[in-house]
Structure 1
Amino acid sequence: MTTAAQTDFERNLLESRLSDTERESRVAAPVFGTVFTEHMVTVRFTEGRGWHSPRVEPFGPIPMSPATAVLHYGQEIFEGLKVYRTPDGAMQLFRPEMNARRFRASARRLAMPEVPDELFLAALEELAGADRKWLPGGPGTSLYLRPFLIASEEFIGVRPAAEYLFGVIACPVGAAFPGGTSPLTVLVSDDYTRAAPGGTGEAKCGGNYAASMPAQARAAAVGCDQVVFLDAAEHRYVEELGGMNVFFVFDDGTLVTPPLGGTILPGITRDSVMTLAAAAGHRLVERPYTMEEWRADASSGHLHEVFACGTAAVVTPIGTVRSAGEEFRIHEGKAGPVTERLRASLTDIQYGRIPDTFGWTRRIR
C-alpha cells in the first residue's frame, strides 16, 4: 500500500558552476545517459515514519555503508521518462501518471514501500523546474528523468529492508541509437532468457537488465543493435527486446504484439502505440507469436513491418533479424510507412506539435 508523504520539498539549489555557453555545449549533442544536470531529488523512507525529508539538492555521491542492503540483495527499481520542449518554449511530461503506477507495481513485486503518486509526480516537477536550463531544444532531444528506489538500510539479512531512498536524476539526451530512426539489426537469443513466469519480468528492476547483458554483449560483438528474447519455457515465442516491446505489422494492416502475461514489461510507449494505431483504424491483436511465424511471414511477404518501442527508442523499425546461422529482412531492411506514421503521431503529441486529444501530456510550471 502507498503511505502518506510530505511533498513540501526543501530546496538547496546551487549557483550554476557553468556559463550558459558551457551548458549549451554540453547539451548540444548529448550521448544518452552520459551528461547529468546539476541537481537531484532525494526522499527518505523509514519504517514506522513513512516518507519524509524530500529535498532538491546538488547532484553528487550518495554516501552508503558497504553493508547497505541494496548492494547485497538487490532491492532496487527504477523508471524512465522524458521532459519535452514544446514550440512555445514550455516543458511537458508524457503520461507520467503511468510511470507512477508502474513504479508502485515494481515496488510491490520487490517488497518495497510504494511511492505515492503525488510524491512521485512532485519529485519529477521539482527536478525539472530546478534544472530547466538543461532541457535541450534541438530536434529529437529531451531531458530524460530517472526515478529510482533503493534499499538503504545498513544490514545483511534476507528480508525486506526497513529504510529506503527514493531519488530522481536527469540528463539531456538525443536519440537512443546513433543511427536515429535507421532500422535495427537484431539477434535472437537462443540460450539466454530475460524473464520467466512468476519472476520479475513485469517489474522494472535492475536485475532484469543485468541478466540481459551477456546476450546484449554477444549481439554487439556480431554487429547487432539489440537482442530478441524468447519465452523461458519453450524458446519459441517472441517476448521483447532487451529494453523494448515489439510489434509486427501485416499486409492487411493488423498489428500483433506479444501479450504481457507477467513476463513482459507493460511499456507506456507500447500502450500509447496501441491507442494511436486503433485510432488510425488498425486492428490490434495481443497474442503469442513464434519465431517460426516470424520467418515464414517475412518470407511470404505477409509481414510488412516490425518495430520496437520504448521511452528511449520511441518507435524504431527493425530491418534485419539474425538467429542460429540465418538472417532475414523485413520490408527490404527499410522503415515502413505504418512505423513512420505511428512514430510521427507519438512524437508530435510528446513535443506539443499537435493537440493532445488523449489527455496524455502534463505541463510543468
Structure 2
Amino acid sequence: MAYTIKIEESHSKKQKPADHELGFGKYYTDHMFIMDYDAGQGWHSPRVVPYQPITLDPAAKIFHYGQSVFEGLKAYRAEDGRILLFRPDRNFKRLNLSNVRLSIPQLDEELALEALLKLLNVDRDWVPSSEGTSLYIRPFIIATEAALGVAPSTQYKFMIILSPVGSYYEEGIHPVKIHVESSYVRAVAGGVGHAKTAGNYAAGLRAQEEATDKGYSQVLWLDGVHRKYIEEVGSMNVFFKINGKVITPALNGSILDGITRNSILELIKQQQIPVEERQISMEEVYEAYQNGTLEEAFGTGTAAVISPIGELQWRDEKLVIHNGQTGELAAKLYDLLTSIQLGRIEGPEGWVVELPNS
C-alpha cells in the first residue's frame, strides 16, 4: 500500500531549553507522529502533527491488558551540523519482533523509518549540539479498542515523540553502583522478557525503588528459575571482563536483544579481544572478584550508551570493581561508539543514517 504522510506544522513553537538543563525525558519537541490501525483496514492515516495530548476511552485495552510496545533510539548532531541516526532499521525490526509477542499488527518498517525522518526534518532544530547531548526518539504502539473482553485489540495507535536529552545517569560516563536483585523476578524464557513492552519495566519498579533507597543507580536481574544466572540491568545489557576475556549473558528468551549490545560485541571483536556470549552466574563473577581476575564491568544501552559499573552489591557484600573507576575497555568502547554515532569516524557499513536536508 502506498502511503502519503501528511504534515501539519505547529503555529505555536515552544521555547527550547538550554542544553545544560536537559536531563533525560523532561522536554518534548513541537511535533509528533501518529498512525492508526483498524481491523479490516490495516495501518492508515500517517501524519506529523503538533505535539498534543491524546484522548482514549476508559475501556481502551491498553489500560486493562497492557498491549504496548516501544523503542528507543537517538539522533545526534555532528560537529559539521549534520544530523545522524544510529542503526534505526534495527529498532523498527525489533519493534516488529515485540509486536509478534504482544499480538500487535506488524508495521511496514520502511514506512516507519520514512515517518521518523519526516518528523525529524520538521523538528531538526531541536537536536542539541553540546557534548553528551542528543535527541531521544521514542516510537511506541498502544491498543486503543474500547472493549473489556480479553483478546487482542482491533485498534491501535503508533506514535513517535522526540525529547532532547543530556546524560541518562547523573554520573555520566563515571561508574554507577548496581544492586544485584535476589528477591524479585523480572522475566523468564517463554514470557515477554525479550520484547520491549511496558510491563517488563513496571515489573522492575519495586526493585528499582528499593535499590535507589540503598544508594544504587540500577538493579542487576538474575534469572527467574535458578536465581543465579545474570541476565541484564534494568535499562542495559551487561558485560564483564574477566582475566582478559569479555563475557556477556547469551540471549535466552528473557533478555532484550540490545542494539547497543550488538554493536559493542562487533566492536570488541574488531579489537581482537576474546569475547563470549554464554550463561554466567553471579557466583562466577564473585569468584573472579575474590581471586582478582574481575577486571571490569559495564552496561550498554541506547539511553546510557555505556555505563561502567564501579560497584555491585550482592548478598550484603560490596564488590568494588576496578577500584570504583572507569575501566580502560569501557572508556575505549564508549569513545569508539560515540565517535561513530557523531560522525567523527566511519563505522561499519549501514550503522549511521544521515538525515536529508529536505
TM-score range, shorter chain: over 0.9
1:327 matched residue in structure 2 = 318
Instruction: Write the mapping of 1:227-266 to structure 2, written as runs, cut at 5 A.
Output: 227-252=219-244, 254-266=245-257
Deviation at 1:356, TM superposition (A): 2.5
1:11 to 7, 14, 24: 7
Q: State how far apart, in whole Å, the 2-side matches of 1:111 and 1:332 are.
A: 46
Deviation at 1:124, TM superposition (A): 1.2
1:304 to 295, 299, 315: 295
3-state secondary structure, aligned to 2:340: helix
TM normalised by structure 2 equals 0.97
Q: 1:73 to 1:297 in 2, by over 3 A?
A: same
2:334 matched residue in structure 1 = 343
In 1, are the aligned partners of 2:73 and 2:88 still within 8 Å (CA)?
A: yes
Q: State how far apart, in whole Å, the 1-side matches of 2:319 and 2:194 are.
A: 30
In 1, are the aligned partners of 2:19 and 2:130 still within 8 Å (CA)?
A: no
Deviation at 1:28, TM superposition (A): 4.0
1:164 matched residue in structure 2 = 156
TM normalised by structure 1 equals 0.96
Backbone CA RMSD of aligned residues: 1.1
1:293 matched residue in structure 2 = 284
Q: State how far apart, in whole Å, the 1-side matches of 2:347 and 2:329 are.
A: 20
Q: State how far apart, in whole Å, the 2-side matches of 1:168 and 1:90 are.
A: 21
1:55 matched residue in structure 2 = 47
1:208 matched residue in structure 2 = 200
Amino acid paired to 2:133: T
Q: State how far apart, in whole Å, the 2-side matches of 1:196 and 1:302 are.
A: 30
Amino acid paired to 2:313: R
Amino acid paired to 2:241: V
Name structure 1 gaps, 5 residues minimum.
Answer: none
Deviation at 1:332, TM superposition (A): 0.9
1:362 matched residue in structure 2 = 353
1:95 to 79, 87, 91: 87
In 2, are the aligned partners of 1:31 and 1:173 still within 8 Å (CA)?
A: yes
Q: State how far apart, in whole Å, the 1-side matches of 2:307 and 2:38 are.
A: 42
1:127 matched residue in structure 2 = 119
In 2, are the aligned partners of 1:308 and 1:317 still within 8 Å (CA)?
A: yes
1:41 matched residue in structure 2 = 33
1:136 matched residue in structure 2 = 128
In 2, are the aligned partners of 1:28 and 1:136 still within 8 Å (CA)?
A: no
State the aligned residue count: 356
Q: State how far apart, in whole Å, the 2-side matches of 1:359 and 1:281 are.
A: 22
In 1, are the aligned partners of 2:240 and 2:247 still within 8 Å (CA)?
A: yes
3-state secondary structure, aligned to 1:175: coil
Deviations 1:316-335 (A, max 9, x none): 10010112211111111111
Q: State how far apart, in whole Å, the 2-side matches of 1:16 and 1:187 are.
A: 45
1:68 matched residue in structure 2 = 60
Deviation at 1:17, TM superposition (A): 2.9
- Give the % identical residues: 42
Deviation at 1:147, TM superposition (A): 0.2
Deviation at 1:197, TM superposition (A): 1.4
3-state secondary structure, aligned to 2:139: strand
In 2, are the aligned partners of 1:26 and 1:35 still within 8 Å (CA)?
A: no
